[in-house]
A = this chain, B = another copy of it.
């Protein structure tokens, strides 16, 4: 059965995940961070373990900018039904929105449109306050005039 053994790579990856709880990252982020730490871990292993954790529910997968998969460790996702995620199309940052209006929206979509919204999968897209202010990340997007 998969995920049975406790190995060095798994422990290191779990450490990384806990340090970055609720943050989003790509497989490359993991690989390079591990390299910097002097830890040896293969790309396939990262893919495979993150996939396993995603199936178990402690990690979420999103398709981010340019089709690159973003992962996010979620220690306790009981609260996540209550809020949404926003992604900045400029800098790629993933943010959380804790807000009563989200709950209202969910109920409304169901009652008036028959659509059962999934807050875990839905990502609101737009531009974050920092990028609107002309801050960082302005070198990314703008792929449509």
Contacts and interface: CB of A to CB of B under 8 A. Distances in A.
A57 B114 contact: no
A109 B125 contact: no
Contacts of A128: 114-115
Interface stretch (A23-31, A37-45, A116-124): A116-124
A1 interface: no
B124 A54 contact: no
Contact of A112 (B86, B99, B118, B125): B99
Interface residues of A, number: 39
A86 B95 CA distance: 20
A125 B121 contact: yes
A121 to B, nearest CB: 4
B115 A145 contact: no
Contact of A54 (B55, B125, B127, B144): B144
Interface in A95-145: 95, 97, 99, 101, 104-105, 108-109, 112-118, 121-129, 132, 144-145
Interface in A25-73: 54-57, 61, 63, 66-67, 69
Given A86-B115, A109-B124, A114-B132, 15 more contacts: A55-B145, A67-B67, A86-B109, A86-B113, A95-B115, A97-B115, A99-B108, A99-B113, A114-B128, A115-B127, A117-B126, A121-B125, A122-B123, A122-B125, A123-B125
